[in-house]
Amino acid sequence: MSAAAPTAAPASWRDLLELTKPRLSLLSVLTTLVGYAAARPGWHPREFAFLCLGTCACAGGVAAVNQWMESDTDARMARTADRPLPAGRLPPGNAFVLGWGLTAFGLGCLFAQVNGLASFFALATVVSYLALYTPAKRESSWATEIGAIAGAFPPLIGWAAAEGGRIHVGSLGWILFGILATWQIPHFMAIAWTYRDDYAKVNFPMLTTRDPDGGRVARWSLINTFAVVALCLLPSLLGLTSLAYAVVTALLGAWFLARALAFLRPAGRDASARRLFLCSIAWLPLQLGALVIDRLYLAP
């Protein structure tokens, strides 16, 4: 008798949840709320609830469609091979239906229950992530930068919600857009350097697969770290935040810059990339938390 071929474990609710990339989706929701709080709209529970619901649905839907689009390359990379689609625990159609269903629900929720500008920025996120960033990963060395722009829209969703229907985004809203866009470069360069062999397997033309010693990767990370720290100090220069915020930002920025500078050293670059990645994860909520607290309680 021949041995039976192994079968994949049956799908569970955890597989469906994994399709939505809950940690990445949570980051989108939290940065949306940062934009909302920074605009200081007052407390509007119904608007707040629908903003959270709509953004969460859009973020989860985009993540599911992205995994449907990338299931072939995910199957060839060690870090993604156990995702529900490449592992065979879910049929591709499930991801397609779930993804587009959540996305349509989220956009409709934002349009009908929040306002048109908020839904426009959410749609910009969907289009830039799925139509630009996802295919660019296979074709362009600038895919990371394209993805950074796509990932920077959530604060504008929140700011637009706080404006109550006015076609307006204040300067701080655009500064938040810039902060999110530039923060993602050192954050994802650290990830891409750590998993450069995986990306090389699928021929992604990323900077980390074309820079064997990592010098260009480290310099580009440092340039964007300087940029994000400068953008974080800009609200104080414009009189939008207090001196206390500027001091906290300078201290957090020095820490972030120290990690980016360490990444420049060829010796121990793998370990430095890991430390830069962990620093970027911790730095973002601390920095944005300081901004929100300052705007709500200390800013003029």
Q: What is the pLDDT of residues 169-194, one digit of tens each?
A: 999 999 999 999 999 999 999 999 99
User: Is there a contact between 19 and 98 (Cβ–Cβ < 8 Å)?
Assistant: yes
Percentage of the chain surpassing pLDDT 90?
Answer: 83
Whether residue 163 is found in the same domain as residue 183: no
Whether residue 112 is found in the same domain as residue 226: no
The answer on pLDDT for 25 being more than 70 is: yes
Residue 40: per-residue pLDDT: 84
Whether residue 161 is found in the same domain as residue 178: no
- The burial of 273, by beta-carbon neighbours within 10 Å (0-12 exposed, 13-18 middle, 19 or more buried), is given as buried
| Amino acid, res. 189 | M
Report residue 32 as tokens.
């949306």
Average confidence score pLDDT of the chain? 92
Looking up tokens 């469906």, which residue turns up? 16
Domain final residue, candidates 167, 194, 214: 167
Whether residue 290 is found in the same domain as residue 174: yes
Whether residue 59 is found in the same domain as residue 138: yes
Q: Residue 136 is part of which domain span?
A: 14-167
At 11, is the pLDDT very low, low, confident or very high (cuts 50, 70, 90)?
A: low
Looking up tokens 């500008």, which residue turns up? 117
Tally of domains in the chain: 2
What is the rounded distance in angstroms from the CA atom of residue 57 to the CA atom of residue 11? 21
Residue 4: per-residue pLDDT: 37
Residues 88, 93, 97, 100, CA torsion sign: positive
What is the rounded distance in angstroms from the CA atom of residue 146 to the CA atom of residue 123? 16
Residue 10: per-residue pLDDT: 56
178: left (phi over 0), alpha (psi -120 to 50) or beta: alpha
Looking up tokens 């390359």, which residue turns up? 73
Percentage of the chain surpassing pLDDT 70?
Answer: 96
Residue 2 lies in a domain: no
Whether residue 205 is found in the same domain as residue 269: yes
Whether residue 100 is found in the same domain as residue 234: no
Whether residue 81 is found in the same domain as residue 132: yes
Residue 5: per-residue pLDDT: 35
Domain final residue, candidates 133, 167, 201: 167
What is the rounded distance in angstroms from the CA atom of residue 252 to the CA atom of residue 257? 9
What is the rounded distance in angstroms from the CA atom of residue 106 to the CA atom of residue 108? 5
Residue 8 lies in a domain: no
Whether residue 247 is found in the same domain as residue 195: yes
Q: What is the mean pLDDT of residues 50-56?
A: 97
Q: What is the mean pLDDT of residues 3-13?
A: 52
| 74-115 pLDDT per residue, tens | 999 988 999 999 998 999 999 999 999 999 999 999 999 999
The answer on pLDDT for 14 being more than 50 is: yes
At 150, is the pLDDT very low, low, confident or very high (cuts 50, 70, 90)?
A: very high
| 250-291 pLDDT per residue, tens | 999 999 999 999 999 999 999 999 999 999 999 999 999 999
Whether residue 70 is found in the same domain as residue 148: yes
Residue 224 lies in a domain: yes
Residue 268 lies in a domain: yes
Residue 6: per-residue pLDDT: 40
Whether residue 19 is found in the same domain as residue 51: yes
